[in-house]
Structure 1
């Protein structure tokens, strides 16, 4: 088990350069005069683009409008993921002119939100018929970790086809005892041997991070996630 876990740290990080991958997120704020400018908040509808889920939000304080965009993969990934992008935040796009702020941002699992601030007094000049248009144009420059999207999650959605729960740092993995026992001598001894854990409904595992253990399980289930032989 320890040798297997050591190889998990050698996961390949496949990077993919992408060209001309652009899209827009849009929202029209209506009844602006009734919008709470001191503590208003709007969470916009989520959309899928290029194997990722995106949405934006609008948050207001007394003097500023905070304009956020969020990103995450639409399925678990084998390796750490990231998206490098040029992000244009625009207000007033339905009129002939608008105000724009541009950032170059790297979205990843630790920092999946980019944002800018606009002054309300600047934004208000683009109100038309008591509506204010918000637009985010995203140009993806590079994607990493999206080559192999994982379908199997090992979470409660697989409870009906599992007969064991492995717990790594409070994260529960729903698995099949017989399948893992057939693939790994460690699990064969754990599930079918004389260990006291074989009779436990939830079996704790130590000495490994949840993300690495998930990769280990995917390797046992037939997904290649290592550089070299397992």
Structure 2
């Protein structure tokens, strides 16, 4: 009789062991799923925080620019034009050479050299399609290889219809003492810009309130956007 009871309890013990094993396995899988989802939530929150911070930084920069009533250019509006002019002794009247272009502040800049009446004239040119725009700039230039001449001057470059604005930097007489190769270097610092207009690609102010369903607030500034734009923004 005792043997029969033992035989009946053995399957029950085995079943309990199997159930406990399945339970433990499911619990481990659940822990893994929870850990993965928690990490995804943390990453998502981090991405949202980074996007909001980038928007806040952009708003801060726009605020600084809008409060700058003098239109003074930021320090980043500084660049250098440099070009080596070769074989000057082979140049004849009306011959010339010029550097590559640099585009800054919606304008194209370059430096050049022209030979005329036994004289070498070094110049800087400015061209823009922005009608009525003018740029005040500080120029620091030097001729490397010719007494290392260095000069500083200011000039207001202006839009000109169907042509460009040119400033003469240096004029040297060809008396046989001009080196065969000369390098001109000009550092341009933008001081002031007037007449520059930039169209807004999209408005986010209260004029969009009726067609928006999400409002983002950054530094007390409200941005009225749609959910589709909002979702796209945080998936960039």
TM-score bin (small chain): 0.3 to 0.5
| Richer in helix (by share) | 2
Larger RCO, structures 1/2 (Cα 8 Å, 6+ apart): 1
TM-score by length of structure 2 reads 0.46
| Richer in strand (by share) | 1
